[in-house]
């Protein structure tokens, strides 16, 4: 399923690399003791270090180093025991120091890998590097016709920049990579992955080349895309734009572009060439980070089970299908919820109820699984009622709706409404006999060879028992009597 753009004379292949900025989960900032929480009063979470006041010195937050290493290990990456902070120099009003403390030649994490499960098989996407850096403050442009307002709360918050190799070949792969990366950092507890609040931001490097070629042509960088869907749309648009440029005899220029979701197009930021002359040099205020192998080993020992491993375990331990397992591990909360429902129960049935019924309701009310109207324990009780033949699957759906609406325990609902499945053969037989006696014509048709009518008879018996008869028993009894 190669993604190709049909050109006039030949097909074109897309080459994509993603740079993801992930905000590290920490209480305090990377180099100061100011808080990091989102949505605080403007400039209230700012120390004099973050404001770039003269004479202030940065002191590194040890936990942020741990978080970066932890993420590196989660990406199967090489941890560099020696890494160096450098200054990336540029002027912008929300960067009070006049430089961003970042890592350049010696990042803390080297090459790693992210595995993607695509419809046509597994793809391994290389990670080039991961480095730590400071976030900038926030510029607010729409408060005043002549001025830009600056809030430095975000200034100095720790970021990880995770750079992929140019291994992605379609918008779908780019989307899958971003979702997988988000799942990994969420599992690790190193970034909350919230793209709306900007804790995860993405730049996409896009170029095209004639299908079958292995050259790397000039790329355009699309900056600051804030949703998975927009990343995919931006890449699709940009790749087609570049094909168009080449086919009309032009050449693609290396530049920064912005994606406009309203118009569905990318456009040039026309930034000056000088903007990329960052004049990196080692930050004289900071010593290199030197880690011991023990420090890394300790973090490695405490890594949680990650999505890939969890998926394999769900398949072998619970017997769920590969695609169901993929859905269940995509978010840590879902996996946890599923395991609570499935533990000691019919796991396939549990998976079915979580994926089909529960997700259906969550989508409808627009809630995440952590705000689910039904807690895992109660859904488990419902699965028990079905497995123990107390209620039929059909009745279970009614009970489920009642649970969503009223938040009641399924056992209580079944009791109150008298929904218990009828498994008493005598009682079912009476209903079956009645239906047969009342419908002589249909019985005749059945006996003349219209076997399909059995379904209709089942329906009639279920109607008579308000859906409570055990369908299997109804089926067996009916066939016995009809064939009589």
Task: Please give the residue ranges that form the binding site for other proteins (CB under 8 A).
Answer: 26-28, 32-35, 41-51, 59-65, 84, 89, 91-93, 139-141, 143-152, 269, 274, 277, 279, 282, 284, 286-290
SS3 of residue 395 by DSSP: helix
Q: Which is nearer to other proteins, 55 or 119 (CB)?
A: 55
The string of DSSP letters for 410-478 reads HHHHHHHHT---B--HHHHHHHHHHHHHH-HHHHHHHHTT-TTHHHHHHHHHHHHTTT-B-HHHHHHHH
Contact 192, 183 (CB under 8 A): no
CB of 152 to other proteins, least distance (A): 7
Q: How far is the CB of 142 from other proteins (least distance, A)?
A: 11
Query: In the block, which residue shows the tokens 């016709």?
Result: 145
In the block, residue with structure tokens 């394999």: 312
159 bridge partner residues = 23, 133
Element holding 19 (H helix, E strand): strand 11-23
User: By C-beta, is 35 or 245 nearer to other proteins?
Assistant: 35
Please give the helix or strand (H or E) that residue 258 lies within, else none. strand 256-260
Minimum distance of other proteins from residue 316's CB (angstroms): 38
Helix (H) or strand (E) holding 64: helix 62-74
Q: How far is the CB of 88 from other proteins (least distance, A)?
A: 13
- Closest contact distance (angstroms) between CB of 140 and other proteins is 7
Contact 112, 72 (CB under 8 A): yes
Distance CA 57, CA 85 (A): 14
How far apart are CB 138 and other proteins at their closest, in Å? 10
CA-CA distance, 470 to 423, in Å (whole number)?
Answer: 6
Task: Between 84 and 222, name the residue whose CB sits nearer to other proteins.
Answer: 84
Smaller CB separation from other proteins, 26 or 392:
26
In the complex, the smallest distance separating the C-beta of residue 97 from other proteins, rounded to whole angstroms, is 14
Cβ–Cβ under 8 Å, residues 160 and 130 = yes
Nearer to other proteins, 150 or 362 (CB): 150
CB atoms within 10 A of CB 143: 8
Give the H or E element holding residue 202: strand 200-210
Nearer to other proteins, 62 or 377 (CB): 62
| Cβ-based nearer residue to other proteins, 166 or 282 | 282
């Amino acid at each position: 399923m190669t993604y190709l753009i049909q050109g006039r004379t030949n097909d074109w292949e897309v080459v994509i690399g993603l740079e993801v900025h992930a905000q590290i989960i920490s209480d305090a900032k990377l180099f100061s003791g100011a808080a990091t929480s989102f949505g605080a009063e403007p400039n209230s979470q700012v120390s004099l270090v973050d404001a770039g006041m003269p004479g202030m010195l940065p002191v590194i937050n040890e936990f942020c180093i741990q978080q970066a290493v932890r993420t590196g290990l989660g990406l199967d990456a090489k941890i560099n025991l020696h890494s160096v902070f450098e200054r990336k120099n540029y002027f912008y009003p929300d960067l009070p120091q006049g430089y961003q403390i970042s890592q350049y030649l010696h990042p803390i994490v080297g090459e790693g890998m992210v595995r993607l499960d695509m419809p046509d098989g597994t793809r391994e996407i290389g990670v080039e590097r991961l480095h730590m850096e400071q976030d900038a403050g926030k510029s607010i442009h729409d408060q005043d016709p002549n001025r830009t307002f600056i809030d430095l709360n975000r200034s100095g918050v720790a970021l990880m920049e995770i750079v992929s190799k140019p291994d992605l070949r379609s918008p779908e792969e780019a989307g899958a990579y971003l979702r997988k990366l988000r799942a990994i950092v969420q599992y690790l507890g190193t970034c909350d992955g919230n793209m709306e609040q900007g804790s995860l931001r993405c730049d996409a490097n896009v170029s095209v080349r004639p299908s079958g070629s292995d050259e790397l042509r000039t790329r355009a960088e699309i900056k600051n895309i804030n949703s998975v869907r927009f990343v995919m749309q931006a890449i699709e648009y940009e790749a087609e734009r570049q094909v168009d440029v080449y086919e009309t005899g032009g050449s693609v220029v290396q530049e920064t572009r912005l994606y406009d979701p309203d118009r569905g197009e990318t456009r040039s930021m026309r930034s000056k060439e000088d903007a990329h002359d960052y004049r990196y040099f080692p930050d004289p205020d900071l010593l290199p980070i030197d880690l011991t192998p023990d420090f890394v080993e300790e973090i490695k020992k405490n890594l949680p089970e990650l999505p890939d491993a969890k998926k394999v375990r769900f398949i072998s331990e619970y017997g769920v299908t590969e695609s169901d397992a993929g859905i269940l591990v995509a978010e840590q909360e879902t996996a946890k919820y599923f395991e609570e429902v499935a533990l000691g129960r019919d796991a396939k049935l549990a998976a079915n109820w979580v994926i089909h019924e529960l997700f259906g309701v969550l989508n409808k009310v627009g809630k995440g699984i952590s705000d689910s109207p039904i807690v895992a324990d109660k859904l488990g009780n419902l699965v028990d009622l079905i497995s123990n033949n107390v209620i039929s699957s059909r009745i279970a759906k009614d009970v489920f709706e009642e649970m969503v609406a009223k938040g009641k325990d399924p056992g209580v609902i079944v009791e109150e409404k008298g929904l218990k499945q009828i498994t008493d053969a005598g009682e079912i037989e009476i209903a079956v006999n009645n239906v047969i006696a009342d419908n002589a014509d249909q019985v005749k048709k059945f006996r003349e060879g219209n076997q399909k009518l059995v379904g209709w008879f089942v329906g009639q018996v279920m109607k008579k028992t308000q859906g409570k008869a055990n369908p299997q028993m109804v089926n067996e009894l009916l066939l016995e009597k009809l064939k009589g």
